């Protein structure tokens, strides 16, 4: 990489590729001109181009079947803008820049720039692809131009000197995969505006050498992720780094709000506010039900404005329905049976995005579409967050150049970056929420006068009704809210260690800073002292002799002084979002992506799996990398990435019941609901299609045992809570073991032995009286908080990924989250992390408030207990559900008496389902 010759050649290629891109883009008349053309007029910093990475990239292009596209070199991580001559103040230049492409800024963009200039912070919300990025970005850009020109209008060309340069704008994006695109969009207007900034990427994908360069020669603007920002906070010299910030932009704030990463951002903002006196905070968000709250959480009580974007385009939601509903599967999540039908749709459309809800579903659909159309090899892409940056870039680039016919993707492509609108958007399975549906639909149809359109493909028959419900919910304007998190102690423990790794902190000062967030505004002194002690700062913890991670210095500052501990913490910061992941590489070195450690741990050499649409077989582990070689697809299994299932929102759940009721009464209007009528008559014949004022329960027996299916239509989370509650109350009097399944419509309790149940008993089990206590008890009985503790242990830094260099001594300090949970429960039962786990299960997995409201509402409904002869269409998806909770009040020995030792067949279930 130090070889200068190839570097210069690479530079030339970057520039040429960027120019080609720009031309193509302009030729297509794309609305957002900024898109993907970032390097126009810019020289790529040599550090951003890697001959090594590039070599593998080119190989990948051929690998993906690609006569279609040659892969351009990786995008630079640092861009030095070579400013063109320009004159006038910032706003004038921006207006001229818009005019040069025949556009004028939208009113909301001008408003955002003015608010920024006048020192205000705020939240910008607008539909995808309507210019949110420029609304947030050009405010600080205009300001910088005005400062440099003394807001005069003489012609100036600025190239900032190293000495003068300090970081001015920090751009936080939730998706590492999209950061490179964001950087390009931000770079795009700068050259023509005459602003010679150096802007760069700082994410987990940024190579070490580039980071070092960025540290040496400061950037004017940086695009980063919450995790990489936390890493920056773990370093000394914070005021030098952040003191001159004028703006922080939090992109896709709706994705972060209500998550622990969002709280991580809140904490970082509190710090930046204190370090940078001139700082303004801007959030960028898609439509949300609670925008005002979203703004308040972001600004933590600072006054601010909400800037509303252009009205969203009109939206068309339709469905690709199976030709014969009775022949389509009645259960399942994959729906690949419809692949041929979807392929036909893609055939007749231009560029198409095929959205799936999970990464494994994306992998399976990619294979299914390729099987239907082998000739699409190379022009059918796959994009999800666990693929290597090279393959993601290959696909993104193909979307931009139009080389891709279709891309199968997850939410990795429904966020943010303004890439070219596509012609068609297809949603596999339920979108699970109105806001998500709107966002995904927004990827299509940017041509004036044309609506956005999204076509839903049900993965099982009953699901087709969800498109109809979504349409009704959109008409009602029923868009979901995202509730902010309050006091996630695990995040605070992590933050305290992070700060202690860098500058260190004084108790009072950091407490005041932490309270300057929405999440920890009500943090008590006692809670803070516990956090410091648990983070390793000594004090209140009697049960933890000789535990010390943070040293309380004579100067009153808490610091992590042991380099090994600081290093371990920094490595672990990135795992706040996900489980420890293992990188997948071919033996000869090319990166394929990553999968969770759990998946790899179950493989033996020779086992085949699919990643990025390629079948590979596992060879061996080498530190945190799994080496693989090509394999025949025949025996390959598809990894499951955790990440969980989304719950149907309240809004959608309600509308589904209306649809069912209208169908039951024979006046369904939606095409999807009408198409379901044979299935619903079958349901009516064997049991009943419940009205909105009825609660249906079905009891039936199979060789597996006794099944109780109940259909409250509460949404997945509420139904999970009701399942736990009913199971707990039934098993309290008689020793029973239940396997519990739930979906958005209802829940199932399965018992291996028969259990007595009549309408009165079920009514009693659903009694709202003492329900909150009983649900809390059921959480313990079903070990839900123990399972949830996995996330908390990770965030609080209890479990960590091994990393090269520490070897054995690090492995000796590894234990599972379950072990941590057990040891706390037994020896430190007052540990606030246990309480947090219980609270998070109740609030987030079981939605206690919504559950209690549902119980009250159920009291008004007529309870119907049927005993159908066979499994009904409503019950089947529940019975087929694989993700289950357990609740048992039996003696272990009694349970064991019915059991055998399982022979392990990893991922067998998934294959069967596929």
Residues interacting with other proteins, by CB under 8 A? Answer: 534, 536, 541, 543-549, 562, 565, 568, 601-602, 604, 704-705, 737-739, 750-753, 797-798, 808-809, 811-816, 819-820, 823-824, 826-828, 831, 884, 886, 888, 891-893, 895-905, 908-909, 912
CA-to-CA separations, 285 to 173, 225, 427, 729, in angstroms, rounded = 11, 16, 22, 43
Sheet holding 221-224, edge to edge: 42-44, 78-81, 198-202, 221-224, 169-172, 247-250, 280-285, 121-125, 304-308
Rounded to an integer, what distance in angstroms lies between the CA atom of residue 518 and that of residue 90?
34
Shortest distance, position 828 Cβ to other proteins, whole Å:
4
Shortest distance, position 806 Cβ to other proteins, whole Å:
10
Rounded to an integer, what distance in angstroms lies between the CA atom of residue 273 and that of residue 279?
6
Return all residues near 235 (Cβ < 8 A) that are at least 6 apart. Answer: 241, 501, 502
Greatest CA separation for the chain: 88
CA-to-CA separations, 575 to 231, 275, 589, in angstroms, rounded = 12, 26, 24
- Residue 63's closest CA among 582, 630, 620, 518? 630
**Residue closer to other proteins, measured from CB, 16 or 819:** 819
**Residue closer to other proteins, measured from CB, 543 or 760:** 543
**Residue closer to other proteins, measured from CB, 166 or 787:** 787
Interior/surface letters 611-623, b for 16+ CB within 10 angstroms, e for the rest? bbbbbbbbeeeee
Rounded to an integer, what distance in angstroms lies between the CA atom of residue 828 and that of residue 543?
7
Shortest distance, position 824 Cβ to other proteins, whole Å:
7
**Residue closer to other proteins, measured from CB, 521 or 810:** 810
Shortest distance, position 801 Cβ to other proteins, whole Å:
14
Spatial contact of 247 and 280, defined as CB atoms under 8 Å apart = yes
Shortest distance, position 796 Cβ to other proteins, whole Å:
9
According to DSSP, residue 830 is labeled T
Going by DSSP bridges, is the β-strand pair 591-596/78-81 parallel, antiparallel, or unpaired? unpaired
**Residue closer to other proteins, measured from CB, 128 or 234:** 234
**Residue closer to other proteins, measured from CB, 41 or 832:** 832
Shortest distance, position 743 Cβ to other proteins, whole Å:
16
**Residue closer to other proteins, measured from CB, 756 or 892:** 892
**Residue closer to other proteins, measured from CB, 4 or 899:** 899
Shortest distance, position 606 Cβ to other proteins, whole Å:
10
Shortest distance, position 267 Cβ to other proteins, whole Å:
21
Shortest distance, position 341 Cβ to other proteins, whole Å:
29
Measured between its terminal Cα atoms, the distance across the chain in Å is 45
**Residue closer to other proteins, measured from CB, 751 or 837:** 751
Shortest distance, position 494 Cβ to other proteins, whole Å:
13
Shortest distance, position 647 Cβ to other proteins, whole Å:
22
**Residue closer to other proteins, measured from CB, 659 or 881:** 881
Rounded to an integer, what distance in angstroms lies between the CA atom of residue 466 and that of residue 201?
40
What DSSP line would sit under 744-803, residue for residue? SS-EEEEESS-----HHHHHHHT--TTHHHHHHHHHHHTTHHHHHHHHHHHHTTSS----
Spatial contact of 60 and 126, defined as CB atoms under 8 Å apart = no
**Residue closer to other proteins, measured from CB, 75 or 797:** 797
**Residue closer to other proteins, measured from CB, 207 or 705:** 705
- Residue 406's closest CA among 433, 381, 427? 381
Spatial contact of 195 and 158, defined as CB atoms under 8 Å apart = yes
Spatial contact of 748 and 708, defined as CB atoms under 8 Å apart = yes
φ, ψ at 407 (rounded to 5°): -130, 125
Shortest distance, position 818 Cβ to other proteins, whole Å:
8
**Residue closer to other proteins, measured from CB, 106 or 330:** 330
Rounded to the nearest 10 degrees, what angle do helices 650-664 and 677-686 cross at? 80
Shortest distance, position 908 Cβ to other proteins, whole Å:
7
Rounded to an integer, what distance in angstroms lies between the CA atom of residue 467 and that of residue 470?
5
């Amino acid at each position: 990489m130090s070889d200068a010759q190839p570097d210069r050649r690479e530079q030339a290629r970057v520039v040429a590729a960027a120019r080609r891109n720009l031309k193509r883009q302009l030729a297509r008349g794309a609305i957002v001109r900024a898109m993907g053309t970032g390097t126009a007029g810019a020289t790529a910093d040599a550090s951003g181009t890697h001959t090594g990475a590039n070599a593998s990239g080119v190989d990948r292009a051929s690998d993906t079947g690609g006569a279609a596209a040659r892969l351009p070199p990786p995008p630079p991580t640092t861009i030095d803008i070579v400013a063109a001559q320009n004159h006038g103040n910032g706003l004038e230049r921006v207006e001229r820049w818009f005019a040069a492409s025949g556009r004028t800024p939208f009113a909301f963009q001008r408003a955002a720039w003015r608010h920024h200039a006048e020192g205000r912070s705020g939240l910008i919300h607008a539909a995808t692809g309507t210019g949110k990025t420029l609304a947030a970005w050009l405010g600080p850009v205009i300001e910088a131009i005005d400062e440099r020109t003394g807001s005069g209008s003489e012609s100036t060309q600025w190239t900032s000197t190293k000495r003068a340069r300090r970081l001015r704008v920090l751009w936080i994006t939730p998706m590492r995969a999209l950061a490179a695109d964001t950087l390009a969009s931000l770079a795009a207007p700068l050259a023509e505006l005459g602003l010679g900034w150096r802007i760069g990427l700082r994410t987990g994908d940024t190579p070490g050498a580039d980071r070092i360069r960025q540290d040496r020669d400061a950037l004017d603007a940086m695009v980063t992720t919450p995790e990489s920002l936390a890493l920056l906070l773990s370093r000394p010299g914070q005021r030098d780094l952040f003191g001159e910030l004028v703006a922080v932009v939090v992109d896709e704030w709706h994705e972060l709000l209500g998550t622990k990463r969002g709280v991580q951002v809140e904490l970082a903002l509190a710090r930046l506010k204190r370090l940078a006196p001139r700082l303004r905070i801007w959030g960028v968000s898609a439509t949300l039900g609670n925008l005002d709250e979203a703004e308040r959480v972001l600004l933590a009580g600072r006054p601010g404005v909400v800037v509303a974007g252009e009205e969203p385009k009109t939206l068309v939601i339709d469905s690709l329905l199976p030709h014969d509903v009775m022949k389509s599967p009645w259960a399942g999540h994959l729906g690949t049976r419809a692949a041929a039908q979807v392929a036909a749709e893609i055939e007749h459309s231009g560029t198409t995005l095929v959205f799936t809800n999970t990464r494994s579903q994306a992998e399976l659909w990619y294979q299914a579409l390729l099987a239907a159309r082998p000739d699409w090899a190379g022009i059918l892409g796959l994009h999800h967050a666990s693929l290597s940056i090279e393959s993601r870039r290959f696909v993104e680039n193909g979307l931009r150049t139009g080389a891709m016919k279709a891309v199968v993707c997850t939410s990795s492509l429904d966020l943010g970056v303004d890439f070219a609108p596509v012609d068609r958007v297809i949603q596999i399975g339920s979108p699970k929420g109105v806001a998500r549906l709107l966002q995904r639909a927004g990827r299509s149809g940017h041509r004036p006068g044309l609506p956005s359109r999204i076509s839903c493909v049900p993965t099982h028959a009953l699901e087709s009704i969800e498109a109809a419900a979504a349409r009704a919910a959109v008409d009602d304007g029923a868009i979901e809210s995202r509730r902010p998190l309050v006091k996630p102690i695990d995040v605070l423990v992590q933050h305290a260690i992070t700060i202690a790794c860098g500058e260190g902190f004084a108790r009072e000062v950091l407490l005041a800073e932490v309270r300057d967030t929405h999440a920890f505004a009500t943090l008590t002194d006692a809670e803070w002292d516990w956090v410091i002690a648990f983070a390793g700062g000594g004090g209140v913890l009697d049960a933890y002799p000789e535990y010390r991670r943070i040293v309380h210095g004579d100067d009153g500052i808490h610091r992590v002084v042991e380099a090994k501990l600081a290093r371990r913490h920094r490595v672990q910061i990135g795992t706040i979002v996900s489980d420890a992941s293992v990188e997948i590489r071919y033996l000869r070195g090319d990166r394929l992506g990553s999968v969770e450690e759990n998946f790899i741990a179950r493989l033996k050499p020779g086992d085949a799996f699919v990643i990025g649409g390629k079948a590979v077989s596992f060879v061996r582990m080498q530190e945190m990398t799994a080496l693989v070689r090509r394999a025949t697809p025949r025996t390959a299994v598809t990894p499951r990435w955790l990440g969980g299932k989304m719950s149907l929102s309240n809004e959608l759940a309600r509308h589904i019941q209306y649809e069912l009721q209208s169908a039951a009464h024979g006046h369904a209007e939606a095409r999807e609901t009408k198409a379901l009528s044979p299935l619903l008559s079958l349901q009516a014949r064997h049991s009943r299609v419940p009205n909105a004022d009825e609660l249906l329960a079905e009891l039936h027996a199979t060789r597996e045992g006794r099944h109780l299916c109940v259909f409250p239509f509460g949404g997945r989370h509420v139904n999970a809570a009701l399942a736990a509650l009913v199971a707990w109350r039934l098993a309290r009097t008689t020793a029973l073991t239940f396997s519990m399944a739930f979906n958005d419509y209802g829940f199932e309790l399965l018992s291996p032995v028969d259990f007595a149940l009549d309408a009165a008993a079920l009514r009693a089990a659903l009694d709202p009286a003492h329900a909150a206590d009983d649900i809390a008890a059921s959480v313990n009985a079903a070990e839900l908080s123990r399972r949830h503790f996995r996330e908390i242990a990770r965030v609080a830094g209890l479990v960590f990924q091994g990393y090269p260099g520490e070897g054995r001594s690090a492995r000796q300090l590894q234990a599972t989250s379950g072990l941590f949970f057990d040891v706390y429960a037994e020896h430190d039962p007052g540990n606030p992390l246990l309480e947090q786990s219980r609270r998070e299960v109740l609030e987030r997995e079981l939605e206690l408030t919504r559950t209690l409201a549902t119980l009250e509402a159920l009291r008004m409904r007529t309870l119907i207990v049927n005993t159908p002869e066979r499994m009904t269409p409503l019950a089947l998806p529940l019975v087929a559900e694989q993700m289950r909770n357990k609740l048992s009040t039996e003696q272990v020995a009694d349970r064991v008496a019915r059991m055998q030792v399982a022979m392990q067949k990893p991922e067998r279930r998934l294959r069967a389902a596929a």
